[in-house]
Amino acid sequence: MRLEFDRLTILVAEDNAYMRAALVAMLEAFGTQAIHQATDGETALALFHEERPDIVLLDWEMPAPDGLAVARQMRDRESSPDPFVPILMISAHAERARVLAARDAGVNDYLVKPVTPRVLYDKLLGLAVDQRPFVATPGYFGPQRPDPQARGAREGDDGMSAHPGDQA
Amino acid sequence: MKIIPAPRKPGDQAETVEIVANPNRLARKALVIDSDYDRAATPAISRAERALEQVRRQHRAQLPAFLDRLTEHHAAWRTRPQARAARERLLHAAHDLRGCGADLGQPLIGRIAGSLSRLIGFVAKPRAALLDAHIAALRAAARPEAVAEDPVAQAVAQELEEKVAQAIAREPG
């Protein structure tokens, strides 16, 4: 199983110059040429509307609106050009509450910095393999989240494929 | 498809939940199902590791500039501790260092910056002395002769983290 990266358009929203350059360098090495870069939430949303990326890599801490707010707007079925777009949240924050907040904003997966090529590759592949249906409730639209009270649910199961610290 | 699950406990309002099929445009566009994971992944990841190392080399030289910016934001906030924008700028600079310190071969800087960003992010009125201690520790860690694995350096970082944890624990709520 593999992704044809050369066919993808990817939006990288990251205000830190080093991290942005690192992400872009890795994506180019994977084969993606159509990479759009934003250094703040407003530009990220504008590029999302204009370029219709196949994947969004979203930093949490950005000049307003932050990554969390951007994810919510991308998931807004009334205004978003693609509310199903796969979103990978990238953050230096490893706290569990942060991961859950990102999940509740509708992101597909969460990646803690520093980002290694292998983990990034596998996460991107994972976005394509992710077959979870989407769920709409009055306060949420995004990938289905496991019900922690459901039979068989594991403690800490939050619907993300990896928790902070899991990365290689 | 719409489903209405039962309330979880008496008194809860039932919530309408709509299940929507995921069109998975990404998979349809670029996912190839075959057994070639390693054949595709290994060279791509190797290329990415080389590209990443080049980016690291280019940016490693900029770490002192990151620290200078952090110090400037710290000084600005100390003169106007009520200024929310100054606090945000300092938090942002600390967060940046936290995110890239380890990646740029400066794990100690990343660790101390992480402690600083927790202090600013979770403590409403952090003590000036504790802020100053973080800045001083960061500058010391950035010295050419500093060694991240040095036990004293590690102990200083741990001490700072513990002080921050205590400060966070004292926060109301």
State the CATH number of the domain containing residue A16. 3.40.50.2300
Q: pLDDT tier at B144 (50, 70, 90 boundaries)?
A: confident
ipTM for the predicted complex comes to: 0.86
CB of A153 less than 8 A from some CB of B: no
Query: Is the CB of residue A20 less than 8 Å from the CB of residue B58?
Result: no
Give the residue from chain A lying closest to B1, CA to CA: A135
Q: Quick one: closest CA in A to B52, which residue?
A: A22
Q: Which residue has the higher pLDDT, B150 or B13?
A: B150
Instruction: Give the pTM.
Output: 0.76
Helices (H) and strands (E) counted in chain A, each on its own, are 5, 8
SS3 of A142, please?
Answer: strand
CA atoms in the 13 A half-sphere facing the CB of B135: 20
- The answer as to whether A67 is a domain residue is yes
Residues 6+ apart with CB under 8 A from A3: A30, A124, A125, A128, B30, B31, B32, B40
What's the confidence (pLDDT) of residue A83? 97
pLDDT category of residue B134 using cuts at 50, 70 and 90: very high
Per-residue pLDDT tens digits for B75-127: 999 888 888 888 988 988 898 888 778 777 788 998 999 999 999 989 999 99
Structural domains of chain B sorted by starting position, each given as residue range(s) with its CATH number in brackets: 62-170 (1.20.120)
Q: Which 3 state secondary structure label does DSSP give B157?
A: helix
A54 contacts in B (CB within 8 Å)? Answer: 25-26, 29-30
Number of separate domains in chain A: 1
Chains A and B form CB pairs within 8 A to the count of: 147
C-beta atoms of A92 and B95 within 8 A: yes
| CA dist list (Å): A65 to A40, A73, A78, B27, B86 | 7, 10, 19, 29, 18
- The answer as to whether A140 is a domain residue is no
Q: How far apart are CA B119 and CA B160, in angstroms?
A: 10
Mean pLDDT of chain B: 86
CA distances from A163 to A40, A102, A123 (A): 25, 12, 12
Taking an 8 Å cut-off on Cβ atoms, the answer to whether A19 and B17 are in contact is no
Mean pLDDT confidence for B41-48: 96
In eight-state DSSP terms, residue A5 is G
- pLDDT tens sequence across B17-34: 899 998 999 999 999 988
Chain A: closest CA distance from residue B34 (Å): 5
- Spatial neighbors of A23 by CB under 8 A, at least 6 apart, are A12, A14, A57, A90, A115, A120
**Which residue in chain B is spatially nearest to A28 when comparing CA positions?**
B48
Mean pLDDT to the nearest integer, A92-101: 85
Average pLDDT over residues B64-81: 89
pLDDT at A163 over 90: no
Locate A140 and state its tokens: 């949420």
Would the CB atoms of A54 and B48 count as touching at under 8 Å? no
Contact A40, A62 (CB under 8 A): yes
With respect to residue A160, please indicate whether it lies within any of the assigned structural domains: no
Looking at the domain assignment, is residue A41 inside a domain?
yes
Expressed as residue numbers, the domain containing A25 is: 5-128
Among B16, B32, B102, the residue with its CB nearest the CB of A4 is: B32
A166 falls within a domain: no
Touching check for A94 and chain B: CB below 8 Å? no
**Strand order across the beta sheet in which B2-3 lies:** A140-143, A134-137, B17-20, B2-3
Length of chain B (residues): 173
Is the confidence at residue B5, as pLDDT, over 80? no
Residues of A in contact with B44 (CB under 8 A): 5, 29-31, 117, 121
Domain assignment present for residue A30? The answer is: yes
Residues of A in contact with B47 (CB under 8 A): 29-30
Residue A1 to residue B16, Cβ atoms within 8 A: no
